[in-house]
Amino acid sequence: METNQQQEHVHLLIIGSGPAGYTAAIYSARANLKPVLYQGIQPGGQLTITTEVENYPGYPEGIQGPEMMVDFEKQATRMGADIRYGLATSVDFSSQPYKITIDESKVITADAVIIATGASAKWLGLPSEQRLNGSGVSACAVCDGFFFRGKEVAIVGAGDTAAEEALYLSKMCSNVHMIVRRHEMRASKVMQDRVLKTSNIMVYWNSETQEVLGDNKVEAVKLLNTAKNEEQTIPVSAFFVAIGHQPNSDIFSDYLELDEQGYIKTVPGSSRTNVEGVFACGDVQDKIYRQAVTAAGSGCMAALDAERYLSAKEHQA
């Protein structure tokens, strides 16, 4: 190890913020585990790019995503969690205490680690898509579909998630325009059949999104049919991107078991990973639900699992 690197030992390190990390911090701080939490590249996680959150219990009027994450952070701090800016850039889980490098410069050694690094939505990479993100562009139909009741919306994607979200939107929106890049979907046969049998879902095969149109909010989407080389503009109020998520798990891949998509595998019914004393919660290990409330619940599980682990370890010592 380089001599110029700072070192610090902590009892419990939480990597990542968002509902999972902050909830883990609240529970573990109340259990007197003196957790240190590094917020990562996006303090507050995916909710900080969400505008209105209406489906989190306890906020009857709804709340802005960034404001909700400030509330979570304040609560964790009030309980005694040490919340810090910084990004975990590498880890060494080969021996205890575990070593985690922050911002490529500081080494933290920890008796137990909770990973709550989340997942990032994949985007098409259009400038207009990023400009209108939160103003009609969304990567979560379950979160934001409700705001477009009775309106025309578009969704891009061809897998099971895209099919599920198109069906979800079809129940509340007047028409759903589903944009599929190839001449077929990747979704399972049963999901494809459901989509094709739903009268208010229109599928656009061989189609690529060229631009999302609108000055301050989504007004239309411009498509190119690659088979016919024809352009078409469809008036819509929202544009949902459902081309997948990328779990933020790369730095752990040498030590932790990941599934084929890169999600951290946990023992069912727990937050335990294949490395003793390393726990994972939230979207980095959940590709099914991916909601703020489920992430918070799994953060609670991780804190309780870590507390039991550290307590048992102390009794053995």
Residues 249 and 234 in one domain: no
What is the DSSP track for 152-166?
Answer: EEEEE--SHHHHHHH
1 found inside a domain: no
Question: Catalytic annotation on 281?
Answer: no
| Residue range of the domain that includes 52 | 8-120+245-315
Average pLDDT, the chain: 93
For 102-105, which contacts have Cβ atoms below 8 Å and span 24 or more sequence positions? 102/38, 105/5, 105/6
Residues 128 and 203 in one domain: yes
70 found inside a domain: yes
- pLDDT value for 296: 97
3 found inside a domain: no
**Per-residue pLDDT tens for 39-58?**
987 787 877 766 678 889 99
* Active-site residue (options: 111, 144, 286, 305): 144
Full-model pTM: 0.80
Residues 279 and 235 in one domain: no
* Active-site residue (options: 71, 82, 92, 140): 140
267-294: burial string, b at 16+ Cβ within 10 Å, e else: eeeebbbebebbbbbbbbbbbeebbbeb
Residues 227 and 311 in one domain: no
Question: Catalytic annotation on 300?
Answer: no
Question: Catalytic annotation on 143?
Answer: yes
Centroid of chain to Cα 73: 17
Q: CATH number of the domain at 223, please.
A: 3.50.50.60
Domain boundary among 192, 210, 241: 241
**Band of the pLDDT at 314, cuts 50, 70, 90?**
confident
Kind and range of the H or E run holding 316:
helix 292-316
Residues 154 and 254 in one domain: no
